[in-house]
Amino acid sequence: MSNQAPLKNGELLRMININSVTLPFFWVKASNVVIIAIALNVPFSLLATLLKGEVDTASLIFLLLFLPFLGFAAWIAWKNVTVLNAVIQPWTLTSLFLLGTFSLIIVLLQIVFNFVGGGIDTLNEIDAKSLFAGTLVFGYMGLLATGSAISVLWLRHRKIEALNMKLTDFIRSINQPTIKSEKRFLPPKNRTKGWWLIIGGSVVMLGIQFVPDSIYYSSSGSVRTISQVGSLAFIMFLYARSQFQPSAEKLLEIDKRSPVLFLRSFRDDEEYKNYLNADSSFVDYSLESRIADHFFQSGPFIAVGAPKGQHIAIGAARATLADAEWQGKVVEWMDSALLIVVLAGITSWIEWELKKVIERGHAHKLILCFPQSKPNWFAKDKRFRTLKTEVNARFEAVKAAFVGTQWEASLCQLVDPLRIRSIIFEENGRVTAVTARSRNRNTYHLAVLIGHFLILQGHKPA
């Protein structure tokens, strides 16, 4: 890993490259998504089989043997839903190796008895397709779980060279809560709506289990349609997650610690567009939902809610504010905040917020992060249809906010905005930028945590 040495006197910029540390986390996220999605489907499949009276004793015994492995792995996967925690979670490797080994043994037995031994020749076309699909699922899950376990083993021996710390030591140190968050014990935004959404999603998942195999495997179009209907259940579960979050007002009323303020442009709130990616989004919705789990350990993680709540909000607790009061309230929160996390944006209001942070002397507690940008060929403004132009526009907006400040010269030394993941600011005009080539969410997540770590350390390398 190439990183610059710690800052010397007179240097204005430190670069911390984290690319090689984050790439293996792809396997961890992928296996989490598959394990949780399958774990949600299997009980409904078992229930539907019992209700239809199609109890195959051998299949029932197999499912009952498989459920403990899958359930244990799904529980650990949900605890590791922010992915980075998988490195320090003591049961991660055990659950992944057990599930991976069990799944691959099943695949081997299927191949030996059905494909090599000729058992598949006794099945009709629909049953043969069903058997083949099941073998693929187990094979896919086994390979992902095994790859994830190997990745975790490898990551446990990696170092963040610029901090001179093992990755495991860094995650443990940054995950130490000052006071246990009260968020989970607060009244949710709308408990009734949340439970109805869960019930509705469960009904959808149970309903698709009653689709006969003859229809499901009759054509690729049928498989696609049924999969889209199944995605509807995960969308409902996503909305349910947002309904179980507390409001910022209730959170601040109970939790008296200094808040962690999250500022972003409303246009950067995650919009749910990828219908077929619903299961993945349910597990890992956004960068905001990841860093929320971390910052709630330090204080109430709050943000201003978007008008009319047009997006699924999973992450910071939202406050509902009138147009006439939000600016005053944001400035008040800036002054009292323990930390200010700003998602670099291209609107005039995010530039106004950044300038207020600087004017009021809060740059030393600012973590500036960049969203996980993707090309948007359908953007109304043609300038922002490519990744490079959008990221450059965000960085230019950041530099505009810092014009005339002691950090202006430092920011001008950053010449490749596409690789910037987070930036923090020292009171002497120095800047630390966390960079990477990778654009996976793990990179952005770790960059924010490193920014927080450096602020806690007084901007000094370990």
Predicted confidence at residue 286, as pLDDT, reads: 87
**Mean pLDDT, rounded, for 129-156:** 85
Phi-psi region of 309 (alpha: psi -120 to 50; beta: other; left: phi over 0): left
Q: Name residue, tokens 């099945």.
A: 123
User: Is 193 or 272 the better-scoring residue by pLDDT?
Assistant: 193
Check pLDDT > 50 for residue 332: yes
**Mean pLDDT, rounded, for 95-109:** 88
Phi then psi dihedrals of residue 370, to 5 deg: -110, 140
pLDDT tier at 382, thresholds 50, 70, 90: low
Adjacent-strand bridge partners of 318: 303
- Per the prediction, the chain carries an average pLDDT of 82
Check pLDDT > 70 for residue 126: no
Q: How many residues in total does the chain contain?
A: 462
| pLDDT tens, residue by residue, 440-460 | 888 999 999 999 999 998 755
pLDDT tier at 378, thresholds 50, 70, 90: very low
| pLDDT tens, residue by residue, 276-312 | 677 788 888 888 988 998 998 889 999 988 776 556 7
Check pLDDT > 50 for residue 6: no
**Mean pLDDT, rounded, for 149-163:** 90
**Mean pLDDT, rounded, for 265-286:** 74
Q: Which two tokens stand for residue 207?
A: 């309903």
pTM of the model: 0.86
Domain ranges of the chain: 25-162, 190-244
Nearest CA among 436, 183, 398, 441 for reference residue 295 = 183
Beta carbons of 310 and 338 less than 8 angstroms apart: no
| pLDDT tens, residue by residue, 384-425 | 556 778 888 899 999 999 999 999 999 999 988 999 999 999
Residue type, 375: P
pLDDT tier at 198, thresholds 50, 70, 90: very high
Q: Residues of 199-238 as b/e, b for ≥16 C-beta within 10 angstroms? A: ebbbebbbebbeeeeeebbeeeeeeeeeeeebbbbbbbbb
Question: Integer distance in angstroms from the first to the last C-alpha of the chain?
Answer: 17
User: Is 116 or 341 the better-scoring residue by pLDDT?
Assistant: 341
pLDDT tier at 118, thresholds 50, 70, 90: low
